[in-house]
Amino acid sequence: MASTRQTLGTLGFAALAAAAVAVVTLVPMQDYTVHILVQTSTFAIAVFGLTVVLGLCGQINLAQAAFFGFGAYAVGLGTADLHMNFWLALAMGAGIALVMGALLGMTTLKLGGHYLAMVTISFQQIVTLIMVNWIPVTHGPDGVGRIQRPLLFQSSQAFLGVCVFAVAVIGYLVWRLPQTPLGRSMRAVRDNELAAGVAGINVYKVKVAAFALSAVLGGIGGGLFAGGFAYVSPDQFSFAESIVFITMTLLGGVAAPVGALIGTGLLIVLPESLRFLKSVPGLYLAIYGLSIILIIRYMPDGIWGFVQNRVRRWLAPPPFAGAPAELMLAPAYAASADAAPMALEVRDLCKHFGGVKAVDGISFSVRRGQVHALIGPNGSGKTTTLNVLSGIYTATSGRVLLGGRDVTALPPHARTVAGLGRTFQNIRLFRSMTALENVIIGAEQPGNQIASGHAALVERARAALAFVGLEARAHELVTGFSYGHQRLIEIARALAGNPTLLLLDEPAAGLNSTEKLGLRDLLKRIAAKGLTILIIDHDMTLVTEVAESITVLNFGRRIADGVAADVLRQPDVIAAYLGTEPDAPAFT
Ligand code: ADP
Ligand code: MG
């Protein structure tokens, strides 16, 4: 079903694109109209780049005009001064933008947030300075004239056809991107970076890819722009233009290329159509500014986002037909029964935050196939331990062995590939995605033998959702689920990755008593499949019912460890954890 719809959509799009190219090349037009359309289409390609990096991946790029400039100057200097072939010059511009984008991304994307914004602004300013001051090469403020077009597309309308064709092809690819593994990873990184890493995504690599992709689209847009106008100068690629690109993205809707196209068209056509107001000074700017403010105020997801939210209900795929497959878990066990008997060994683990010794030299082991609980009062270091185990924090000292393998130095995604799955104390789902998409990301890992290819991934994710009882709502956005159900989706996402060890941080927190019973049954069903679980929870009924062994922490140190019943009888555990009076909880 979905694939038929997709094919129809693609065919419809191709027909529309072909019609657009035919119209702009064949129907006679005024120079002015051609001018506006060339500008819109070349800008739109650069804005598509921002759809990728900002819309899909959530990374800010305030230097898109600089990448646009790389493409424009490559075509300008290449064709005018070096007498290069247009296409070769365009490819060179795209290549330069790609390399610069990748380099800028690699050096700055570890920073993120405000730093990233500032570094991209500085980069933009440096590029402008070079354009203005490196006169022997760039011609400085005079700019570059006599830029050549490709042989077969000398007339401005023929060249416009090229631009519209490029918009269609690139727009199509950007439109399809979110449904590809790379696009899904980008959305996961945007929605929740920590969870993306723990779900097996190499966050840094995905960000650099998004940045480089955005830069290359900037370069292509700029190269075509230079061909269209035959003259470029530094002021066309300034910081102010970068802001215009960002505004176009936000105005139309950051999440899809349609939005980019709407935003670009609007910001180019709106000022032009208000020119008749020029007789009243200032009025034109006021109306222009006010329109933008009103749109952003009343359509926070942009114009296309606004439309999409209204039609989403009719676009949802139909429910699955037939029964889901049974969820296969941890097949690694039987095969490696003679390997290390411990699923997890923690040795002298320390995690200090400055003077705070959150975890201060703890050791414990989790036996294969067992449910092991990690308990202790609030602030005793349980979550920190889990964060060190899953690689979100690097250990100050000590070692972590997963199935006998030292994973202490591995980043989160590599530990996930090595067999770790986890949920978070504060639920971390990918909020803009459906339940199914969330779980697909859990299933989708390099080297994952259980599911390769899209159909297999969907089946695996569906089986995991069915296992937690939510398969019927697979296509709903996760934000529409109750808190308890969101926890179940998080567990399904971890299970889909086929972990050998499942880490659960307070899964019962915030659940009502019915939900707690459901969770207890789910944990028992997971344990019955032979999966090893390390669970943190304050609900002692749950802990005593599911856990066979317990490690107790207090002030970052281990104060007890062993068979559940024995541990809970120890006086110092009762004192530290339960308080001396049974009715007075020492924790909340
Ligand atoms: P628990 O999960 O057992 O309630 P945590 O592991 O969250 O405890 O916290 C243990 C201690 O470490 C607390 O004192 C907490 O304030 C401190 N801590 C946790 N994370 C950080 C951090 N990122 N920076 C500084 N201190 C932290
Ligand atoms: Mg905690």
Task: Tell me what pLDDT residue 581 has.
Answer: 46
**Does residue 127 sit in helix, strand or coil?**
helix
Average pLDDT over residues 500-520: 94
- Residue 575: pLDDT above 90? no
Q: List % helix, strand, coil for the chain (3-state, nearest 5).
A: 60, 10, 30
| Mutation test residue for ligand 1: of 194, 356, 374, the one with most atoms within 8 Å of CB | 356
| Ion ligand 2: residue ranges with CB closer than 5 A | 383, 425
Ligand nearest to the CA of 388: 1
The per-residue pLDDT for range 431-477, each reduced to its tens digit, is: 989 999 999 999 987 655 566 788 889 999 999 999 999 999 999 99
Helix (H) or strand (E) holding 422: strand 420-422
Atom of ligand 1 nearest to the CA of 385: 6
CB 268 within 8 A of CB 92: no
- Residue 587: pLDDT above 50? no
Ligand nearest to the CA of 387: 1
Ligand 2 center to 427 CA (angstroms)? 12
- Residue 586: pLDDT above 50? no
Task: Tell me what pLDDT residue 310 has.
Answer: 83
Task: Tell me what pLDDT residue 120 has.
Answer: 93
Ligand 2 center to 109 CA (angstroms)? 28
- Residue 194: pLDDT above 80? yes
What's CA 53's distance to the chain center, in Å? 9
CB 367 within 8 A of CB 549: yes
Atom of ligand 1 nearest to the CA of 376: 3
Ligand 2 center to 394 CA (angstroms)? 17
The per-residue pLDDT for range 113-132, each reduced to its tens digit, is: 788 889 999 999 999 999 99
Give nearest CA residue, ligand 1 atom 13: 379
CA angle (512 as vertex; 511, 514 as ends), nearest 5:
115
State the residue for tokens 């006086």: 571
**Does residue 21 sit in helix, strand or coil?**
helix
113 CB-contact burial (10 Å; exposed 0-12 / middle 13-18 / buried 19+): exposed
Residue 309 banded pLDDT, cuts 50, 70, 90: confident
- Residue 335: pLDDT above 90? no
Ligand 1 center to 353 CA (angstroms)? 9
| Mutation test residue for ligand 1: of 194, 384, 422, the one with most atoms within 8 Å of CB | 384
Cα distance between residue 389 and residue 404, in whole Å: 14
Write the CB contacts of 253 (distance below 8 Å, at least 6 apart in sequence).
259, 260, 262, 263, 301, 302, 303, 304, 305, 306, 308
Average pLDDT over residues 197-225: 96
Ligand 2 center to 376 CA (angstroms)? 9
Atom of ligand 1 nearest to the CA of 536: 2
Ligand 2 center to 116 CA (angstroms)? 30
- Residue 68: pLDDT above 60? yes
36 CB-contact burial (10 Å; exposed 0-12 / middle 13-18 / buried 19+): middle
Ligand nearest to the CA of 350: 1
The per-residue pLDDT for range 37-52, each reduced to its tens digit, is: 999 999 999 999 999 9
Give nearest CA residue, ligand 1 atom 18: 358
Cα distance between residue 423 and residue 503, in whole Å: 6
Ligand 1 center to 555 CA (angstroms)? 10
Residue 146 banded pLDDT, cuts 50, 70, 90: very high
Residue 256 banded pLDDT, cuts 50, 70, 90: confident
Ligand 2 center to 150 CA (angstroms)? 63
Helix (H) or strand (E) holding 462: helix 454-467
- Tell which wins on pLDDT, 85 or 4: 85
Percent of the chain at pLDDT exceeding 70: 94
Task: Tell me what pLDDT residue 588 has.
Answer: 42
- Residue 315: pLDDT above 80? no
Task: Tell me what pLDDT residue 334 has.
Answer: 47
Across 5-9, 229-233, 518-522, least confident range = 5-9
CB 351 within 8 A of CB 383: no
| Cα dihedral 228, 234, 240, 246 in deg (nearest 10) | 50
Cα distance between residue 133 and residue 117, in whole Å: 24
Task: Tell me what pLDDT residue 434 has.
Answer: 93
CB under 6 Å to ligand 1: residues? 353, 356, 358, 376, 378-384
Task: Tell me what pLDDT residue 337 has.
Answer: 54
Ligand 1 center to 381 CA (angstroms)? 6
Average pLDDT over residues 204-215: 96
Task: Tell me what pLDDT residue 110 has.
Answer: 80
Atom of ligand 1 nearest to the CA of 380: 3
- Residue 583: pLDDT above 80? no
- Residue 548: pLDDT above 80? yes
- Give the per-residue SS3 of 140-165: HHHCECCCCCCHHHCCHHHHHHHHHH
The per-residue pLDDT for range 360-406, each reduced to its tens digit, is: 999 999 999 999 999 999 999 999 999 999 999 999 999 999 999 99
Give nearest CA residue, ligand 1 atom 15: 379
Task: Tell me what pLDDT residue 276 has.
Answer: 76
CB 219 within 8 A of CB 11: no
Per the prediction, the chain carries an average pLDDT of 89
Instruction: Tell me the two tokens of residue 145.
Output: 């004239």
CB 160 within 8 A of CB 32: no
Write the CB contacts of 23 (distance below 8 Å, at least 6 apart in sequence).
none
Task: Tell me what pLDDT residue 336 has.
Answer: 53
